[in-house]
């Protein structure tokens, strides 16, 4: 899938979550996403950036503008080298948390995206990618 | 330290969130409000989020916590002005803000509080007791 542009950001502190939100918003606006779509992808990114920080002990956020069959999408990949997730199905369950959150981050981010992939290895880290296509 | 201002108006506390809140700022607001409810014997808290472009689970949890803490301290909380796109996203995220009173705007929120607290001595916003 052709990537026509990308931006990489570090997620090391809680201020970085705000920066990720602002960058995702700016890209979504620039690509012409509607307001509801913008809000959904920014909210999903906020959840996952916080997970990268709180559970992954920091990592990176890669934002990519995709073009496929003349449609435009925004893919955001969150990667960390943290402890990983032992039971992904459990982690994806609404209301389940291993920390102090509400347990909506992963499942909520999935609902707010058109595509969602998660890969994790215990002791190595986690990579989560979400994509939202324009006008779907 | 950066803080969100809390205005005292009679027995009400008013907060307008006008910045993209980072997590620490949200926690500080929660603590400040709880302290000020006690300090001013406030009967209600009105939080205007009309300029917030997103509410994620962290901010949602903060709003629910503020409502719960103020209830325990015998004060009501009403959240006003949520943008439609934020409301749509919040529900899809899985957060329904159970237990948090909401109103469309500041005016409706004040009406709601005045009605709810009517009959109480000095509950009017204009009365500094």
CATH number at residue B95: 3.30.750.24
pLDDT for residue B120 = 75
pLDDT for residue B123 = 47
User: Mean pLDDT of all residues in chain A?
Assistant: 93
pLDDT for residue B65 = 93
Interface test with B, best of A11, A51, A102 (most B CBs within 10 A): A102
The verdict on ipTM greater than 0.85 is yes
d(CA B65, nearest CA chain A) in Å: 12
pLDDT for residue A34 = 96
Number of Cβ pairs < 8 A linking chain A and chain B: 70
pLDDT at B121 over 60: no
- Residue B67 structural domain: 6-116
- Residue A80 structural domain: 3-133
Q: Is residue B81 part of a domain?
A: yes
What six digits make up the tokens of A3?
């990537």
Closest partner residue to A14 among B23, B60, B93, by Cβ?
B23
CATH number at residue A43: 3.30.565.10
How far out from the chain centre does Cα A112 lie? 10
Q: Is residue B72 part of a domain?
A: yes
Cβ contacts of B23 on chain A, cutoff 8 Å:
14, 17, 50
pLDDT in tens, A30-84: 999 999 999 999 999 999 999 999 999 999 999 999 999 889 999 999 999 999 9
The domain tally of chain B equals 1
In angstroms, the CA A49 to CA A96 distance is 18
């Amino acid at each position: 899938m052709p990537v026509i542009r990308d931006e990489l950001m570090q997620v090391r502190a809680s201020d970085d979550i705000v920066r990720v939100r602002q960058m995702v918003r700016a890209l979504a606006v620039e690509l012409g996403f509607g307001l509801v779509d913008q809000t959904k992808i920014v909210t999903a990114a906020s959840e996952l950036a916080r997970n990268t920080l709180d559970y992954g002990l920091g990592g990176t956020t890669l934002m990519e503008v995709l073009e496929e069959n003349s449609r435009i999408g925004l893919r955001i990949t969150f990667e960390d080298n943290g402890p990983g997730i032992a039971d992904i199905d459990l982690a994806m369950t609404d209301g389940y948390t291993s920390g102090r959150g509400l347990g909506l981050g992963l499942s909520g981010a999935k609902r707010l995206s058109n595509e969602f992939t998660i890969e994790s290895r215990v002791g190595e880290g986690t990579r989560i990618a979400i994509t939202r296509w324009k006008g779907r | 330290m950066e803080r969100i201002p809390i205005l005292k108006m009679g027995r009400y506390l008013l907060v307008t969130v006008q910045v993209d809140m980072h997590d620490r700022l949200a926690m500080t607001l929660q603590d400040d409000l709880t302290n000020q409810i006690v300090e001013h014997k406030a009967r209600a808290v009105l939080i205007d989020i009309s300029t917030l472009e997103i509410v994620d689970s962290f901010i949602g949890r903060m709003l629910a916590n503020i409502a719960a803490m103020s209830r325990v301290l015998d004060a009501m909380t009403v959240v006003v002005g949520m943008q439609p796109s934020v409301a749509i996203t919040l529900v899809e995220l899985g957060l329904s803000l159970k237990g948090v009173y909401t109103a469309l705007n500041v005016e409706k929120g004040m009406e709601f509080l005045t009605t709810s607290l009517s009959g109480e001595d000095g509950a009017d916003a204009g009365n500094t007791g």
